[in-house]
């Protein structure tokens, strides 16, 4: 029997030749989706995918049923479950693809299951919570041969595409140095640096055990402490400001300079951390192998967060020129480019840069699923990008020590102890199997 994946591919090919006939005859050639995570960014992802006229949401999952009104309105007939496994099991071959927009600690557990079932996946950034998981996600995507995309919508934005075009077109010459920074602080979002002493009663509608998932047991903390939103700065669930914004802000750096190799080493400095939350301000120095767009055989990229900013010394910016709150500064041999997050890039000394049109990131993934064409930022790209980001946070645990990295062996070669942070112990019943 023809399964839906083969059917969709056939329909996509046919629709190029005879769109009206195919659509008229076969309404079921839409991409049938489930949305996993229905509020916050989840709703934004679902809504964006639903605006593509070749999609239909056939099911939804959210651990808190009180936060599912919007998706119920979107398709009142679609089942809504708290456990994504139940949803995928029940719907079986009716599902072609999934959006995964849960907190970061659950991306790999959910994403790997989705891909093992042969479904295409759009997964929020960072791709995973730890380095080992990012490796598994990239491997499984290849093994299952599914269409993947990292939820880095700015990758397709006019401003980022324009900056990539300008740098690759030589507007600042070969690049010598990159600084990337983000205003967000660590504990700024959770307002806690240690666990609440008297946790509040959990809302009836929330399946706390499912929210915790792979993470160690702890009581529900109260609204926003962990769930929703506040999880970002807690080590068990998120990766602080670097994890939250690194994939966004370093994305144009990776894309423009065609960085496709792992960092060779990384070293962090910060304002202090405990065993629970990430630092309020962090700086990470990375050394990457050079590429065709860099001046030297190595490239230094420095990350700053929590309001820390780079010095503009050595760049082509006039003295006193301010920097945006978040963004990147590319220093080239003949000029510098400032790319705000999110804003129009500017080249120094003043030069016109050719504007490149933006694309719809969400629809691009849907089109990719329908045509079997992998977008440029699938998990083969998002995995290594996420790995680099998360390695910076391992460096934060060993403040001031330069860690050296062997990506093939997936090993920090000069500090045995640091390797423990490449992956985590999973809670009973929530193990993640390595992808063979």
Ligand X SMILES: NC(=O)C1=CN([C@@H]2O[C@H](COP(=O)(O)OP(=O)(O)OC[C@H]3O[C@@H](n4cnc5c(N)ncnc54)[C@H](OP(=O)(O)O)[C@@H]3O)[C@@H](O)[C@H]2O)C=CC1
Ligand Y SMILES: O=C1CO[C@H](CO)[C@@H](O)[C@@H]1O
Residues near ligand Y (CB under 6 A): 184, 244, 248
4 vs 107 by CB, closer to ligand Y: 107
Residues 6+ apart with CB under 8 A from 175: 167, 257, 293, 294, 295, 299, 330, 331, 332, 333
Per CB under 6 A, the segment of 134-142, 205-213, 251-259, 295-303 that binds ligand X is 205-213
Q: Is 379 in the site for ligand X (CB under 6 A)?
A: no
Residues 6+ apart with CB under 8 A from 378: 141, 147, 148, 149, 150
Q: Is 124 in the site for ligand X (CB under 6 A)?
A: yes
Q: Is 37 in the site for ligand X (CB under 6 A)?
A: yes
Peptide bond between residue 164 and the one before it cis (omega within 30 degrees of 0): no
140 vs 239 by CB, closer to ligand X: 239
Decide: 254 and 121 in contact? Cβ < 8 Å: no
Q: Is 228 in the site for ligand X (CB under 6 A)?
A: yes
Q: Which of 413, 150, 49, 137 is nearest to 265 (CA)?
A: 413
Q: Is 384 in the site for ligand X (CB under 6 A)?
A: no
CA separation for the pair 64, 82 (Å, rounded) = 7
- Give residue 436's Cα distance to chain centre: 23
Q: Is 133 in the site for ligand X (CB under 6 A)?
A: no
CA separation for the pair 99, 105 (Å, rounded) = 16
**DSSP letter at 90?**
H
- By beta carbon distance, the residue nearest ligand X is 40
CA separation for the pair 170, 158 (Å, rounded) = 18
Q: Is 165 in the site for ligand X (CB under 6 A)?
A: no
126 vs 332 by CB, closer to ligand X: 126
227 vs 308 by CB, closer to ligand X: 227
Q: Which of 388, 387, 391, 385 is nearest to 403 (CA)?
A: 391
Per CB under 6 A, the segment of 98-106, 261-269, 385-393, 417-425 that binds ligand X is 98-106
Q: Is 102 in the site for ligand X (CB under 6 A)?
A: yes
**Residue 208: contacted member of ligand X, ligand Y, none (CB under 5 to 8 Å, by partner type):** none
Q: Is 221 in the site for ligand X (CB under 6 A)?
A: no
244 vs 367 by CB, closer to ligand X: 244
Neighbours of 56 (CB within 10 A): 18
Residues shown for the chain: 436
244 vs 377 by CB, closer to ligand Y: 244
Host H or E run for residue 330 = strand 327-332
**DSSP letter at 404?**
E
CB of 419 to ligand X, least distance (A): 25
**Residue 133: contacted member of ligand X, ligand Y, none (CB under 5 to 8 Å, by partner type):** none
**Residue 184: contacted member of ligand X, ligand Y, none (CB under 5 to 8 Å, by partner type):** ligand Y
Per CB under 6 A, the segment of 101-109, 180-188, 316-324, 381-389 that binds ligand X is 101-109
CA separation for the pair 293, 258 (Å, rounded) = 7
Decide: 395 and 266 in contact? Cβ < 8 Å: yes
Per CB under 6 A, the segment of 71-79, 156-164, 221-229, 331-339 that binds ligand X is 221-229
CB of 390 to ligand Y, least distance (A): 15
How many residues touch ligand X under the rule CB under 6 A: the total is 30
Q: Roughly what angle, to the nearest 10 degrees, separates helices 158-168 and 240-256? A: 50
Per CB under 6 A, the segment of 59-67, 90-98, 322-330, 371-379 that binds ligand X is 59-67
Q: In what order do the strands lie in the sheet with 327-332?
A: 346-348, 336-340, 327-332, 175-182, 298-305, 282-289, 265-270, 403-406, 411-412
CB of 67 to ligand X, least distance (A): 3
Among 59, 103, 306, 335, binds ligand X (CB under 6 A): 103
Among 144, 153, 190, 328, binds ligand X (CB under 6 A): 153
**Residue 130: contacted member of ligand Y, ligand X, none (CB under 5 to 8 Å, by partner type):** none
Among 5, 22, 39, 395, binds ligand X (CB under 6 A): 39
CB of 419 to ligand Y, least distance (A): 28
CA dihedral 358, 181, 135, 299 (to 10 degrees): 100
39 vs 113 by CB, closer to ligand X: 39
Encoded tokens for 307: 């309001």
Beta strands 31-36 and 55-61 are parallel
| Binding residues vs ligand X (CB under 6 A) | 36-42, 61-64, 67, 84, 101-104, 106, 124-125, 151, 153, 206, 210-211, 213, 227-229, 244
């Amino acid at each position: 029997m023809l399964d839906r994946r083969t059917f969709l591919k056939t329909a996509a090919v046919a629709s190029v030749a005879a769109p009206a006939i195919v659509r008229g005859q076969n309404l079921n050639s839409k991409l049938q989706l489930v949305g996993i995570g229905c509020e916050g960014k989840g709703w934004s992802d679902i809504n964006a995918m639903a605006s593509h006229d070749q999609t239909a949401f056939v099911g939804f999952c959210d651990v808190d049923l009180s936060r599912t009104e919007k998706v119920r309105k979107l398709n009142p007939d679609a089942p809504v479950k708290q456990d994504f496994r139940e949803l995928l099991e029940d719907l079986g071959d009716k599902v072609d693809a999934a959006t995964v927009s849960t907190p970061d600690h659950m991306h790999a557990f959910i994403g790997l299951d989705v891909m093992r079932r042969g479904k295409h996946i759009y997964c929020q950034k960072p791709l995973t919570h730890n380095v080992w998981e990012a490796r598994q996600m990239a491997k499984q995507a290849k093994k299952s041969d599914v269409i993947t995309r990292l939820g880095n919508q700015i990758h397709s934005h006019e401003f980022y595409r324009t900056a990539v075009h300008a740098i690759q077109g030589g507007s600042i010459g070969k690049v010598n140095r990159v600084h990337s920074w983000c205003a967000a602080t660590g504990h700024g979002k959770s307002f806690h640096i240690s666990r609440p002493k008297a946790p509040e009663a959990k809302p009836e509608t929330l399946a706390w055990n499912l929210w915790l998932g792979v993470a160690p047991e702890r009581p529900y903390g109260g609204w926003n402490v962990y769930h929703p939103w506040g999880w970002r700065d807690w080590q068990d669930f998120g990766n602080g400001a670097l994890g939250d914004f690194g994939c966004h802000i370093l994305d144009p750096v990776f894309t423009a300079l065609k960085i496709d190799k792992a960092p060779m080493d990384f070293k962090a400095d910060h304002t202090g951390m405990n065993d629970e939350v990430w630092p309020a301000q962090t700086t990470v120095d990375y050394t990457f192998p050079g590429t065709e767009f860099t001046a030297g055989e190595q490239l230094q990229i420095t990350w700053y967060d929590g309001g820390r900013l780079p010095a503009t010394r050595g760049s082509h910016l006039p003295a006193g020129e301010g920097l945006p709150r978040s963004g990147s500064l590319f220093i080239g041999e003949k000029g510098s480019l400032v790319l705000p997050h999110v804003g129009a890039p500017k080249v120094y000394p003043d030069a016109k840069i050719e504007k490149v049109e933006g694309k719809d990131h969400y629809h691009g993934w849907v089109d990719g699923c329908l045509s079997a064409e992998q977008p440029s930022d699938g998990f083969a790209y998002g995995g290594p990008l996420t790995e680099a980001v998360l390695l910076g946070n391992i460096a934060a645990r060993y403040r001031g020590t330069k860690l050296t990295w062997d990506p093939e062996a997936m090993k920090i070669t000069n500090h045995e102890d640091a390797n423990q942070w490449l992956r985590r112990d999973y809670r009973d019943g929530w193990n993640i199997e390595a992808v063979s």
